[in-house]
Amino acid sequence: MLGAYIIYLNINIYNLKDTIKTKDELYKIQINNRINEINLLNDQLVDLQQILNIGLDLSKKDNIYLNTKLEQSDKKYILNSIPSGSPLEKTFITSKYGYRIHPLTKKRKLHTGVDLKAKVGTQIYSPANGVVIKARNFDPGGYGKMITIAHNYGFKTLYGHMNDIYVKEGQLIQKGSLIGLTGNTGQSNGPHLHYEVKFAEKYVEPIDFVYWNNKTFNTIFTKELSLDWEKLILLIKKRKND
């Protein structure tokens, strides 16, 4: 009788240890998830500080040709012509532009855009006026369902891993037009929108353009240094007034 009771206690102790171990592993996973969320939020804060130019001064040269020569109507025209603002209503970046270890292939590769967190079916909007030059239900490059839009002055944007496409090739669209819904198609490890910006067929940092608006207008000219902004602005003003 005593032996049976001891066996019973041992079984209970074993089950209790197993339960504690399982809960401990669950808590570790939950803690790691919270840490990852905090790290992402910290990255977002750094990006916002950089984009908003907190604690930095624009040079006198920048102020001369950007502040004194551009009227409000000029700024509005530029923001409508060049990709500005986020293609989603809510912006949360889960993977930045630049070299990284690809989540599926595990190889180091240039991430040519930014990944924006979004549930399947989130609405996507065009960040500038333009014409749709690609609208594909399948892309061999891994984008899945995707769209490419050509904007004015040599800019292009790309939208990958979509669920639904609402536009067709050759269609003219305006800034703010609904172009489709986010998804998880192609080489994707979870629902999101892959968003790219190109100028003169070269990739540029999309974050600078995602946070670009009327309030942060001057910041992009000191962030995105691969463009000759002064000549581009003069060209835009000339064409606007022709």
Average pLDDT over residues 103-120: 81
Q: 192 and 116 in contact (C-beta within 8 Å)? A: yes
- The string of pLDDT tens digits covering residues 29-68 is 565 555 555 555 555 454 444 444 433 333 444 443 454 4
The residues near 50 (Cβ < 8 Å, ≥ 6 apart) are 223
> Which of the 8 DSSP states describes residue 213?
S
User: Which residue has better confidence, 204 or 17?
Assistant: 204
How far, in Å, are 82, 226, 239 from residue 97 at the CA level? 19, 15, 32
pLDDT of 161 higher than 50? yes
Paired residues of 165 in beta bridges = 180
Percent helix, strand and coil across the chain, each rounded to 5?
40, 25, 35
pTM recorded for the entire structure:
0.71
pLDDT band at 189 (very low <50, low <70, confident <90, very high): confident
Reference 192, options 100, 119, 91; nearest CA is 119
pLDDT of residue 63: 43
Contacts made by residues 67-74, CB under 8 angstroms, sequence distance 24+: 67/218, 69/233, 69/237, 70/233, 70/237, 74/236, 74/237, 74/240
Beta pairing partners, 158: 148, 196
